[in-house]
Amino acid sequence: MSSRHRAATERALDQQRLLDALLTERDGLLGVFDRVLALRGTARVLRDAVGVDVGFVADLSGPDEVVIRWLSGNRTDSLQDLVVPIGQGVGGRVLALGRPVRVSDYVSSASITHPRHFDTAVQAEALGAMLAVPIRDGSRTIAVAYASLRGPGQFGDRSVQTMEGIAAEAARALRLASLAEAGRQDAVSAERRRMQASLHDSVGAMLFSIGAQVRDLRSSLTDNPALGTRLGQLEADISAVSIALREALLALAESTPERALSVELAEHCRSFEARTGVPARLVQLGELPPLDAERTSLLTGVVGEGLLNVEKHAHPRTVIVSIGAVEGGVQVAVADDGDGLHGGGATESAESSELGLKMLAERATRLGGRLSLVHEEDGGATLRIMLPLPSEGGGSP
């Protein structure tokens, strides 16, 4: 190989290494600024850094419970989506005490409670020794990090310190993710204000000028009635366009729940596509009816949960999120062309094995709506929620 060829090869390798480093840095930044990526990455770090068989993270789902969402090293789905109330098991004890909890053998430990389905899930993974620490935001526990061995064992103080360090980094990442999310919302509001000012200053001023010129021209025509009539019609059209522009400017100035909903759902799709590389498209079917904050929150939660389940279980090629008005209400659907979520056949959400979806279904029922998960015969699934509109008084039906 000539020296020139070797030099070119070395330059190419250096460029490839630089590109790899940049891509790694980019992936790390994406993980920091996305809550799901941050917690999923934490589960992997726990397993590697502590040297355990399984690492997993439970996310806060209410004031008194967490749900195990992200696992690394697991062999089954027995722990997936397991709801852990405060005080129950190792994670529930961490939630209650706000400090690390460790046991040498989970199933035989007398220091924790033993709900039957907890022990069944742990035994399915053949887990023994377990250590859990809180992920805290100030004085508040926002998630729980676990590390576990297959079989009995002991976790020393060094393992606890390592776990607490990882938990502190996870808390920092979650704070950054929250700031990034707030920044995205601020950016949307700023863009809305910019568009409003731009339309007012450019289109609004242009319409005013054209209208004034038409009025002057019409008033100066006394001997051409036909042209005067056409100018009068043009003046009326300009007035109508001006009214439509004012309505559009008012719409941009307002921040109603139904307008915010579309922004939220689009952001969920963008985040899903960034995490998975799978195209996710939002389709809005017409103008949305007025919604209250409670319905907006539920619809957003359903899309978030649906995309999370698709990411974990479905292995799709594409995902479509649709939203639109239906008779007497609004409907949102998350459709994928993957393997389906946990089995096949049509399943009403009230009977669904997915605990997260069950909780959302209960909220939908309280509002007079319904949630369903339907598996298609040729693959894929559709999660759909329909909610009636708020009553005139603003409350639930």
Determine the Cα–Cα distance for residues 327 and 299; give it in Å rounded to an integer: 17
45 pLDDT more than 70: yes
Determine the Cα–Cα distance for residues 346 and 361; give it in Å rounded to an integer: 15
Paired tokens of 234: 């043009």
Q: If you average pLDDT over residues 109-122, what whole number do you get? A: 94
pLDDT tier, 344 (very low <50, low <70, confident <90, very high otherwise): very low
For the chain, give the mean pLDDT.
79
Same domain assignment for residues 157 and 188: no
Model pLDDT, residue 349: 37
Could you list the residue range(s) of the whole structural domain that residue 60 is in? 8-177
126 pLDDT more than 90: yes
Same domain assignment for residues 236 and 314: no
Report CA dihedral (354, 356, 357, 361) to the nearest 10 degrees.
Answer: 130
Q: Among 8-17, 60-69, 325-334, 355-364, name the one with the lowest average pLDDT.
A: 8-17
Q: If you average pLDDT over residues 54-63, what whole number do you get? A: 90
Provide the percentage of residues in the chain whose pLDDT is more than 70.
75
User: Does residue 396 fall inside a structural domain?
Assistant: no
Model pLDDT, residue 72: 92
Same domain assignment for residues 226 and 300: no
- Tens digit of pLDDT for each residue in 267-288? 788 888 878 888 888 888 877 8
Same domain assignment for residues 122 and 69: yes
214 pLDDT more than 70: yes
Domain final residue pick, 201, 220, 253: 253
342 pLDDT more than 80: no
Model pLDDT, residue 162: 94
Model pLDDT, residue 341: 53
pLDDT tier, 22 (very low <50, low <70, confident <90, very high otherwise): very low
Paired tokens of 252: 């941009």
User: Does residue 354 fall inside a structural domain?
Assistant: yes
Same domain assignment for residues 100 and 225: no
Model pLDDT, residue 235: 77
Model pLDDT, residue 191: 62
Same domain assignment for residues 164 and 292: no
- Order across the sheet with 347-348: list the strands: 280-285, 319-326, 329-336, 381-388, 370-375, 347-348
Model pLDDT, residue 115: 93
- Which amino acid would we find at residue 197? A
- Tens digit of pLDDT for each residue in 230-254? 888 887 777 777 777 766 665 555 5
Determine the Cα–Cα distance for residues 122 and 119; give it in Å rounded to an integer: 5
DSSP conformation letters of 319-360: EEEEEEEETTEEEEEEEE-SS-SSS-S-EEGGG-S-HHHHHH
Say if strands 319-326 and 280-285 run parallel, antiparallel, or are unpaired: parallel
